[in-house]
Homo-oligomer: A and B are copies of this chain.
Amino acid sequence: MKLRLATPGPTEVPQRLLLAGAREIIHHRSAEMEELIHEINEGLPPLFGTSRPVYTIATSGTGAMEAAVANCFSAEDEVLVVSNGYFGERFQAICRNYGLTVHVVESDWGTSVDPQRVAEAYAQHPQIRGAFVVYSETSTGALNDVEAIGRIFRDTDVVVVVDAISGLLVHPLDMDDWGLDVVLAASHKGFMLPPGLAFIALSDKAWTAVESSSGPAYYWSFERLRHFYPMSSSSPAVSLLLGLHESLKMLGEEGLPDFRKRHATLGRAAERALRELGFCTFIQEPHRRSHVITSALAPEGIDTSQLLKTLSTQYGLTMTGGQAHLKGKLIRVGHVGAADALDLCAVFGALEMSLLTLGHRFTPGSGVGEVVRTFHTFHEEVK
């Protein structure tokens, strides 16, 4: 059975990138690697909207989140964590693990955090050293206004740490202009690569924080990363770097504006198709939807666990459901990276067939029809 992924990451990796990663391994202190790294280091910063270096390390997104905490803060520092989902909670857990005092600006799962509430929390806790926020909260599909949140702290000493792991590339992010200090990303979302690489971009303000931090860090010590830059501080994940080099080329060929249009259209199409099939999309206006995934509550009588199981066992399609308290209630249709209109047709084809199997009634083709209609309209629009 052909295996497909409609997950928020790992995403399907285009064959071109899989094969780039299957090239012969080059040594991390060789002329070939210098050339490869040079092009990667040139290609990454514009994607983060920064003129400063972006560091690449072998770890997952969680490792990058921890690296930010370990390098920029010290035990007992007070920080603000903006939290409206699973990954906001992860930031809290890591901060507490490092002994930081955490003030939480909590917002319901499925909502975007109101930047005004962040400003109020800051007024209440002016002594905070950092503010953590997730750009695209993949557990729900909500997008946070990191631009507005960044601007609150722009002219302060507060270090703004942004988990842009799934949001980067898919949504605009202008680190330098928005006043973001630590921006984290990973290979297995918009970059269309296998998991295993994380990216860290740092502002001057972040570097000042690094200098006064007493948190322990070695492998992902920012000072060590800077010391070895442009090369890697430890043995890098060479096959993933070979893939990254090719991924940057692919992103350059499509261009970020088209990449974003494609994701916006995928999001719109998925949303319409889900509604047509009786689902209730989870992120409601005025909250902002991430274009990484489209999440929705199942129609009455449909057990999403069974639905996901049917999708995987009958059709080889992996889709994820809700995390934590949303387990069993939500499905999350991932369409980040290389996903295109036809991939989404296949996904909704599988979804329709599985729903029929589970006894749900609707006109076959009505979901896929919305995908076709949305993309058709989109193409007309941009002509």
Cβ distance A75 to chain B, nearest Cβ, rounded Å: 8
Cβ distance A241 to chain B, nearest Cβ, rounded Å: 9
Q: Dominant SS at the A interface?
A: loop
Contacts of A78 in B (CB 8 A): none
* A5 adjacent to chain B (CB < 8 Å): yes
A313 touches B31 (CB 8 A): yes
Q: Which of A200-251 contact B (CB under 8 A)?
A: 215-221, 233-240
* A32 adjacent to chain B (CB < 8 Å): yes
* A363 adjacent to chain B (CB < 8 Å): no
Across the interface, name the chain B residue whose C-beta is closest to A15. Answer: B22
* A312 adjacent to chain B (CB < 8 Å): yes
A196 touches B239 (CB 8 A): yes
Complex Cα distance, B323 from A18, in Å, reads 34
Q: Given A61-B234, A188-B235, does the pair A24, B31 have CB atoms closer than 8 Å?
A: no
Contacts of A62 in B (CB 8 A): 218-219, 233-235
Complex Cα distance, B188 from A66, in Å, reads 25
A30 touches B312 (CB 8 A): yes
A59 touches B70 (CB 8 A): no
Complex Cα distance, B238 from A189, in Å, reads 13
Complex Cα distance, B18 from A3, in Å, reads 20
The interface stretch among A92-100, A109-117, A148-156, A280-288 is: A92-100
* A58 adjacent to chain B (CB < 8 Å): yes
A97 touches B194 (CB 8 A): no
Across the interface, name the chain B residue whose C-beta is closest to A334. Answer: B27
Query: Can you pick out 11 interface pairs between chain A and chain B where the beta carbons lie within 8 Å of each other?
Result: A3-B32, A10-B235, A18-B24, A21-B21, A26-B318, A27-B320, A59-B59, A60-B219, A195-B237, A196-B238, A239-B239
- Which residues does A use to contact B, with CB under 8 Å? 3, 5, 7, 9-13, 18-19, 21-32, 58-63, 65-66, 70, 93-94, 97-99, 186, 188, 194-196, 215-221, 233-240, 312-313, 318, 320
Leading 3 A-B pairs by shortest Cβ distance: A196-B237, A194-B239, A22-B22
